[in-house]
Amino acid sequence: MDSQLPIKQSFTKESLKKKFRLSEFLAEKIISSIAFLSIAIIFLIFIFVFKESLPLFSLGSDAKAKTEAQATTANKPESYGASSEELKPEVYGAETTEDLKPESYGAETTQELKPETYGSETAANDDLKPESYGDTPKEDLSVAPADEMMNEASQNQEGSDKTWSTFFSTEWVPVSDNPRFGLMGLLIGTLKVTIIAMLIAGPLAVLAALFTSCFASKRVKEIIKPIIEMLAAFPSVVIGFFALMVLASFFQDVFGYDSRLNAFIGGVAMALAAIPIIYTISEDALASVPKTYTEASLALGASKWQTAFFVVLPAATPGIFAALLLGVGRVFGETMIALMATGNAALLSANPFESVRTFAATIGSEMAETVFGETHYSVLFFIGSLLFIFSFALNAVAEFYVKGKLLKKFQGK
Amino acid sequence: MKDIKIKVNDLSLYYGEKKALNEITMDIPANKVTALIGPSGCGKSTFLRCINRMNDLISNVSITGQMLVEGVDIYDKNVDVVNIRKKIGMVFQKSNPFPKSIYENIAYGPRINGINNKAELDEIVEKSLRQAAIWDELKDRLEDSALGLSGGQQQRLCIGRTLAVSPDIILMDEPASALDPISTSKIEELIHELKEQYTIIIVTHNMQQAARTSDHTAFFYMGNLIEMGKTNSIFTKPMQKQTEDYITGRFG
């Protein structure tokens, strides 16, 4: 067969026999496995991040009442100290003589309890301690088996109860005798920076993309596009440095606010990071709108502006939405710029010119300092999981919204 | 030719250095259908796009000569191209409805002209769709996407969209070339009905279509206007040898 020239292929069973092409088979398998691997990696990252924060979840719901009671004591170190067993009889005595109200004593969960009452309650909890401790290790093993870290974490069990309830407080004081992990301040800070950054980057990038795809001449487009895209290659530490040294001083001179590094500066700097991403993807989306739409619109007597805003932009909605989402993702997870430009103070305020601390910056700055297995450590990983969950939820909602509502609105049913 | 709508004087068009149209001079009558025929690449579509200045969109196109629409040179510096295109509508070879609902497709033209009154828009939409002979098919699904329609329906929708801005002249660039015979005949009927109110210029490759639909026919070849006259006479006793060769199928 080898030496013969391929003269004529006849349709014998032999020539039509199914061939096994090894290289194609391998290539196909490798490509598909790589695709699945990337999905698997994302899930594994999430699982590992979440696993590290598991000690926070190790107490069952049956201990909830106790958790609440301890949460209130958490903010009062004094009364916490008073709960030692030596003081117990005195506190008890004082309680009954001074208050004389058995009803308030019974209502454990009411928030207006007085310091004396706290003392007595923790004392009561001390009595329960052996039982509840007996329960928890078993649960730990069932949730995450064979983890030596759990033993360390169980020392912080008492702390992790408190941790949960301090999540909704405003203070972020992770390292202290009485640590408080108020995520609200961080959440508000993150949202504030994200909103500011998107308010700046979204319109700028989308309109710039609209300009390049609808108005700019070919030459201008060839200049603008690569330059804006080059901005995407800027390391965020450079942008952060620029914000820290130049933008912060400049805007402080302009607006005259107190704190030099604040949410606004962080937002501006993150907008710089997000613009190239939003721009590139929106531009691609706009450029892929068929030219026939543009022609049809112009032939109807529409001006270039009307065509761009009422035909091209709506037709590119899904792509632009995807671009904005990626921009939000970038800003939300941006660490270095947040660390350098936002001031890193977990304040709870609506003022955009106050310093803020974001989730990502918190992880970035504190992870290296914290003790392995400690509550603080778990909380940081929990924040990481929150970042994950947030971006998943955002994507899911956006997907649903774009498919369900926006497309129908712009493009008919 | 008593009523002349468009008067073309020595119109030449260059793509860069290449001359695509060579000193075209012709008169296009009002309220008639004028067919432009000729082999591919002869410049008939280019000429059609000159009439509403769609060639402006292409870079490095230069035009000399005059194109007088009702006595006004549309290539005059002081003429606003947007206003020209409002008066001179165009239907393209490939149907190109916007990715919007059927209603929005028709309402787009009036909207950009500043009509935002819902009742008025409703009226225009219905009138335009009726004129385009597609109202009965679509009246119950105005909110559906126009992209879900068949090719023939889409093309008639595009004609309706053009009518909605009430132009004087309608240019059609091979409007039926991508359609099946039934849709084609519907469009031809439509052209026949529309010519009472509009001046229609249609480019076609289909000789029968030109013979069926048009009152006048112009034959283009290699960027030149070879012959123009009443459709009857062009198809029965053409003056030029080239025209005869083309319509009898000997070349082109």
Give A 75-104 residues with CB within 8 A of chain B: none
- Judged on CB neighbours under 10 Å (0-12, 13-18, 19+), A369 is exposed
Residues near A243 by beta carbon (within 8 Å), at least 6 away in sequence: A265, A266, A268, A269, A272, A337, A340, A341
Pairwise CB contact (< 8 Å): A300 & B147? no
Q: Are A335 and A285 in contact (CB under 8 A)?
A: no
pLDDT mean over A23-42: 93
B71-84 pLDDT, tens digit each? 888 888 888 888 88
ipTM of the complex: 0.87
Question: Which of A217, A296, A303 lies closest to B98 in CB terms?
Answer: A296
**Does the beta-carbon distance from A299 to B162 stay under 8 Å?**
yes
DSSP secondary structure of B33-98: EEEEE-STTSSHHHHHHHHTTGGGGSTTEEEEEEEEETTEETTSTTS-HHHHHHHEEEE-SS----
User: Within chain B, which residues score under 50 in pLDDT?
Assistant: 1
From chain B, the residues in CB contact with A320 under 8 A are: none
- 8 Å CB contact between A388 and A329: no
**Cβ of A220 under 8 Å from any chain B Cβ?**
no
CA angle B45, A296, B192 (to 5 degrees): 65
Question: Does A142 have pLDDT greater than 70?
Answer: no
Of A299, A311, A413, the CB nearest to B98: A311
Query: Using CA atoms, how far apart are residues B17 and A25, in angstroms rounded to an integer?
Result: 53
Tokens for A82? 């008073």
CB contact under 8 A, A301 and B99: no
B85 contacts A300? CB cut-off 8 A: yes
Phi, psi of B7 (to 5 degrees): -120, 120
pLDDT at A383 > cutoff 60: yes
DSSP string, A325-362: HHHHHHHHH--HHHHHHSB------S-TTS-B--HHHH
pLDDT of A329-341, one tens digit each?
888 888 888 888 8
Q: Do A295 and B96 touch (CB under 8 A)?
A: yes
Determine the longest span between alpha carbons in chain A, in angstroms: 114
Structure tokens at A178: 């009485």
Structure tokens at A175: 């390292």
Whether pLDDT at A39 is above 50: yes
> How far is it between the farthest Cα atoms of chain B?
56
Tens-digit pLDDT profile for residues B124-134: 888 888 888 88
- In whole angstroms, how far apart are CA B243 and each of B16, B33, B43, B205, B227? 29, 19, 15, 14, 7
pLDDT in tens, A66-125: 444 444 444 444 444 444 444 444 444 444 444 444 444 444 444 444 444 443 444 444
Q: Is A292 on the interface with B (CB under 8 A)?
A: yes
Confidence of residue A25 (pLDDT cuts 50, 70, 90): very high
Burial string for A12-32 (b: 16+ CB within 10 Å, else e) reads: eeeeeeeeeeeeeeeeeeeee
Count Cβ atoms below 10 Å from residue A207 Cβ, excluding itself: 14
Closest CB from B85, B112, B145 relative to A412: B145
The rounded distance, in Å, linking the Cα atoms of A178 and B157 is 72
Contact across the interface for A292 and B94, Cβ inside 8 Å: yes
- Using beta carbons and an 8 Å cutoff, which residues of B are at the interface with A? 52, 54, 57, 59, 82-87, 89-90, 92, 94, 96-102, 104, 108-109, 111-113, 143-148, 158, 161-162, 165
Report the alpha-carbon distance of residue A362 to residue A53 in Å, rounded.
15
Strand partners, B35: B202, B217
CB pairs under 8 A between A and B: 89
pTM: 0.74
Disruptive mutation site among A289, A295, A300 for chain B (greatest number of B CBs within 10 Å): A300
- Spans of all domains in chain B: 4-247
The shortest C-alpha distance from B247 to chain A (Å) reads 31
d(CA A184, CA A194): 15
Q: Which of A347, A321, A328 is nearest to A407 (CA)?
A: A321
CATH topology of domain B4-247: Rossmann fold (3.40.50)
Whose structure tokens read 């759990």?
A: A150
Q: Which residues pair with B67 in a beta bridge?
A: B8
Inspect the interface and report whether the beta carbons of A300 and B99 lie closer than 8 Å: no
Q: Are A330 and A232 in contact (CB under 8 A)?
A: no
Superfamily (CATH H level) for A184-411? MetI-like (1.10.3720.10)
Q: What is the DSSP-derived secondary structure letter of residue A371?
A: P
pLDDT of residue B19: 85
